[in-house]
Homo-oligomer: A and B are copies of this chain.
């Protein structure tokens, strides 16, 4: 299984999840409520985001709050920077 940051943000639902929790941490049910797909489907996206290390989840009573984990996302920016640098060198 290819589990890198590029894969993490390839899916539009996962990008939307990231956008949502970037503004405010949300527990899993609240998050799932924002989408038309099932909670389980959202949960699976969360697992992928977790595996890719772009989010973290903190337990709070019986709820678990999801929040972005900056760091790994920069891998994408790094690749983009390198790529566009090459374009500039040999246009």
Q: Check if A84 sits within 8 Å of B79, measured CB to CB.
A: no
A68 engages B80 (CB within 8 Å)? no
Copies in the complex: 2
Asked whether any CB of chain B lies closer than 8 Å to the CB of A15, the reply is yes
| Bound CA–CA A73/B23 (angstroms) | 25
**Interface membership of A29, Cβ < 8 A:** no
Query: In the complex, how many angstroms separate the beta carbon of A9 from the nearest chain B beta carbon?
Result: 6
**Tally of chain A residues near chain B (CB < 8 A):** 27
A86 CB within 8 Å of chain B: yes
* Distance (whole angstroms) from the CB of A34 to the closest CB of chain B: 15
Residue-wise, chain A 15-30 has the 8 Å CB interface mask toward B (1 for contact) of: 1001100111000000
